[in-house]
Structure 1
Amino acid sequence: MSDPKIIVALDYPGAAPALALAHRLSPELCRLKVGKELFTATGPALLEKLMKSGFEIFLDLKFHDIPNTTAQACKAAASLGVWMINVHALGGRKMLEAAQLAVSTCAQPPKLIAVTLLTSMNQQDISDLGINATPGEMVLRLAKLAQDSGLDGVVCSAMETALLRRHCGSKFSLVTPGIRPLEASLDDQSRVMTPEEALMAGSSYLVIGRPITRAVDPLQALLDINSQIRGL
C-alpha cells in the first residue's frame, strides 16, 4: 500500500468545493485534511463521502479539554474510520494519556498526534503568553511529553523537525504544516519550508493547502510536488 507524504488541507466553508477538489485529486497521491470549519459545517457525512472515494482522512480538530471529555471525543472521532486525529499537547500528560488509551481500544485505531505550537505563532506570540522559551524549546518539550504519553507523533513546524528527529527517533511521526513551494506566497504562516527541505529535515507528512487548492490545475500542482520529493 502506498504511503503518500502529502496531506491536502481542505480549508473550505462547505462540502461542495471540498468534494469538487477531491474529485480532481488522487488518493494514491495524497491524503486529505478536514479541519474545524469544514467539519463543523458538514459533519461526518463529508468524511464518509471522501473515504468512499478512497481517501484517507486526517481529522484536524485539535481536541483540548479535561481528560475524560477529550478521551470520549477521540473515541468518537476514531469510530468514524479516519486515518489520523489530533489533540493539543498543552492539555497535559493526563489528557494525552487518556486520549491515547481511548483510541487504543478501537478496532482500527487512527494515528493520534499532538499539536505542539501553531505554525502561525512566533517568538513574540509565545512571550505574550508569558512563556519564557524559544519556539524550538517549547516544541521539543511538548513533543517529548506526547511521546512519553504514548502518542504516535506531533504536528510541528518543519523548522523543528531536525531537532525532534534527534530527540524522538525515527519512528515518531512529524506532521508539518506551513509547507510552501518556492513559488508560493507565505500567506499567514510564519515558520515555513519547501517540501524538499521539510522531508530532508525529517518530516513524515507535509500538510499543503493553498499551493494545491488554489492552483489552476490542482492535480498538476500535486503531481509537481510529488515529483520534487520523489525518493526523499
Structure 2
Amino acid sequence: MSDMRDKLIVGLDLPTLTEAEKAVRELGDTVSFYKIGYQLAFAGGLDFARELAEDGKKIFLDMKLLDIDNTVAKGVENIVKMGMTMLTLHAYPKAMRAAVEAAKGSNLCLLAVTVLTSMNEQDVIDAGYEYDPHTLVLRRAEQALTAGMGGIVCSAEEASAVRKIVGPAMAVVTPGIRPVGSDRGDQKRVVTPADAIRNGSSHLVVARPIVAASNRKAAAEAILAEMRSA
C-alpha cells in the first residue's frame, strides 16, 4: 500500500487555508502527495505548499504555466527553489523547452498538460484546434517527449496510448478520477482508479471524491485499495 501512496495525489481544491489544513490533518499519513492549484494558491497556498514540502510531503503545483519563454523560465527557476515535486505547464513546445532548460539539474518533474479533462471534442473545436481530443493529446505527448519534459497530464482514457509514445520512464498523471458511483461534477472524460492504473497512469489526481467526503481518510483509503487491486 505504501507504494500506492506515492501514486495518489490529493487535490486540495478548497477555498481557504483553514479548510486545507484541516483536510491534511484528517488525512494524516494516509496521503503523502498533494496538489495545490489556483483556488488555494491565491488564498495563501504557495506558502502552505512550502510548509508541506518541508514536512516531507510531495507537492504537485498545478499552475499550468504559459507565457513568453523568459517569463516561463524565471517562474520555473523560483519554483525549483520552493522544493516542489511536480509542476504543470501547458504543452506548447517553446514554453516546454524554456522550462526544461530552467529546471535542468533539479529534481522538479515538469508535466505537460495536454487537453483538460473537462473538455470534449466540441470544446476542443470551439477553442480553435483542428484535432479531436485524443489526437491532440497524442500530438502534445510527442512534443513533450521531444522537449525533455518529465511527464504528461492527460485523461486516463488516453493513458494507454500516451504510455506507448512516452515509454516507461515518463510520468503519466491523470486527473478526472472518479470511483464507481461518484458524481462526475464538471469532468467529461473520467475513469475509475483501478482502470487508470491498468491503463498505464503513474499518478492519479483525486480531489472532490476525497476532500468533499464526510470521512476523508476512509475515502482515500478506499481509493488506495482500489488502486492496489489493479
Partner residue, 1:160: 158
Task: Find the aligned partners of 2:46 and 2:32 in 1 and give their Cα distance.
Answer: 20
Partner residue, 2:126: 128
Partner residue, 1:4: 6
3-state DSSP class of the match of 2:142? helix
Partner residue, 1:114: 112
- Aligned match for 2:34, one of 4, 25, 32: 32
User: Is contact 1:154–1:174 with CA below 8 Å preserved after alignment?
Assistant: yes
- Aligned match for 2:20, one of 18, 38, 46: 18
1:16 shift after superposition: 0.5
* 2:141 equivalent to 1:150: no
Partner residue, 1:189: 187
Task: Find the aligned partners of 1:41 and 1:102 in 2 and give their Cα distance.
Answer: 27
* 2:201 equivalent to 1:199: no
Task: Find the aligned partners of 1:152 and 1:161 in 2 and give their Cα distance.
Answer: 15
Task: Find the aligned partners of 2:209 and 2:32 in 1 and give their Cα distance.
Answer: 14
- Taking a change above 3 Å as real, the CA distance of residues 129 and 44 of structure 1, as seen in their structure-2 partners, is closer
1:51 shift after superposition: 2.5
Structure 1 gaps, min length 5: none
Task: Find the aligned partners of 2:112 and 2:29 in 1 and give their Cα distance.
Answer: 24
User: Is contact 2:30–2:217 with CA below 8 Å preserved after alignment?
Assistant: no
Letter in 2 for 1:79: K
What TM-score results when the alignment is normalised by the length of structure 1? 0.93
Q: Which runs of 4+ in 1 moved over 3 A?
A: 26-30
1:93 shift after superposition: 2.0
- Taking a change above 3 Å as real, the CA distance of residues 208 and 98 of structure 1, as seen in their structure-2 partners, is same
- Aligned match for 1:78, one of 73, 77, 80: 80
1:231 shift after superposition: 5.4
Cα-Cα RMSD: 1.5
1:134 shift after superposition: 1.3
Partner residue, 2:175: 177
Task: Find the aligned partners of 1:171 and 1:224 in 2 and give their Cα distance.
Answer: 27
Partner residue, 1:211: 209
Structure 1 residues 22-31 or 119-128, which shifts more?
22-31
Task: Find the aligned partners of 1:34 and 1:130 in 2 and give their Cα distance.
Answer: 29
3-state DSSP class of the match of 1:186? coil
Task: Find the aligned partners of 1:86 and 1:93 in 2 and give their Cα distance.
Answer: 13
Identity of aligned residues (%): 38
User: Is contact 2:31–2:220 with CA below 8 Å preserved after alignment?
Assistant: yes
Q: Deviations over 1:118-171 (max 9, x none)?
A: 110110011112222111100000111011000011110001011111122111
What TM-score results when the alignment is normalised by the length of structure 2? 0.94
User: Is contact 2:36–2:62 with CA below 8 Å preserved after alignment?
Assistant: yes
